[in-house]
Amino acid sequence: MKKLIIIFLAVACIVPSFAGDKSRKGTTGADQLLVPVGARGIATGEAFLSNVTGLEALYYNPAGFAHTTGSEAMFSYMTYIADINVSYFAIGTNLGDLGSFAFSIKTFDIGDIPVTTFDAPDGDGSTYSPGFLTAGLSYAKVITDRVSVGVNAKIISETILDANATGFAVDFGVQYRFNNNLTLGAAVKNIGTNMVYSGSNLQVNTGIPGTLPGSREGTFEVVAEPFQIPSYFELAVGYAYDINEQNMVQIASTFRNNNALEDQMKFGLEYGFSKMFFLRAGYDLLLENTNQNTFGFTAGAGINYQMAGGINVVLDYAFRDVKEFPTANHIFTVKLGIE
């Protein structure tokens, strides 16, 4: 218990420096970091911070990946908003006393956008597709039979035509498990460098001020403003209740302290039958302006099938209501595990 207290006090000291600064509200960029992955995590309202395990834990709380016993691979696909699609791939393994290691990558398919210029404000007939990507390396380890810790190191890349911005960030997470199926979790996310756009698309060829019309043109570059990435702190509690040998229920709640928007409370519920079939639900609530939340109710289902030879196949689906757009988010996840 002393180790747990020390860890949580350390996290509590770090948080005020990076998250919860109201003066920075609405001033961050790289919002791709806030887009969740994995059908199970989204279906449970992103609340399973304290009890998430496996590769899906890399996004929510890297400490949960420490409980992987073999090797895993995961692919997730989400139909997001405004015809944007999000793909996520991760692979990892447990190396015993050395801990668990993983690699993950999240990409966005935004589609083709018409190129407009000063001379062709309605489009010049060509198109471009922005590129948004987050790639990470993760490490997690079980410290004691109750405490696990984890860390992600991430590269964030954004490209629009020939302008691009790159940043670096880290996540830290910890989980604590009591003997009575109660779990606690904490995570600090997206602590990293500022980002700034640069590239040839910020350069403009135009006449030099003070010269005669028709004189040679000069090349001027627009100086882009650096922006911070959206960091936040999360604190969670979860509980697993075995109704009988075949039926079980997990509940969880997570508080998120943001530097980019209002603080949130997340709630999640999962029902499991025979450790094979699962039903899930969740909700994400803004603590102040509750009617301004972009997303609403979430739900989903999953199948966990154990095959011969220690092979485990997981199929998950999630639905997330979107309040300001006509279509909801749909998330599909496939996971393969080998003991």
pTM: 0.87
CB 305 within 8 A of CB 313: yes
Question: Domain 2-338, what architecture?
Answer: Beta Barrel (2.40)
Nearest residue to 8 via CA among 166, 134, 172: 172
Q: What is the pLDDT of residues 192-216, one digit of tens each?
A: 999 998 887 777 776 666 666 666 6
pLDDT for res 101: 97
Q: What is the pLDDT of residues 8-58, one digit of tens each?
A: 445 545 544 444 555 556 678 889 999 999 999 999 999 999 999 999 999
SS3 of residue 14 by DSSP? helix
Q: Domain coordinates of the chain in residue numbers?
A: 2-338
Backbone CA torsion sign across 21, 255, 50, 329: negative
Containing H/E element for 108?
A: strand 100-109
- HSE (CB half, 13 Å, CA atoms) of 177? 18
Q: What is the pLDDT of residues 97-115, one digit of tens each?
A: 999 999 999 999 998 888 8
Average pLDDT, integer, range 160-173: 94
Q: How far is CA 152 from the centre of its chain?
A: 11
pLDDT for res 10: 54
pLDDT over 90 (residue 176): yes
What does each C-alpha distance from 243 to 183, 246, 274 come to in angstroms? 18, 8, 11
Nearest residue to 110 via CA among 143, 82, 144, 89: 82
What does each C-alpha distance from 126 to 115, 129, 162 come to in angstroms? 6, 11, 14
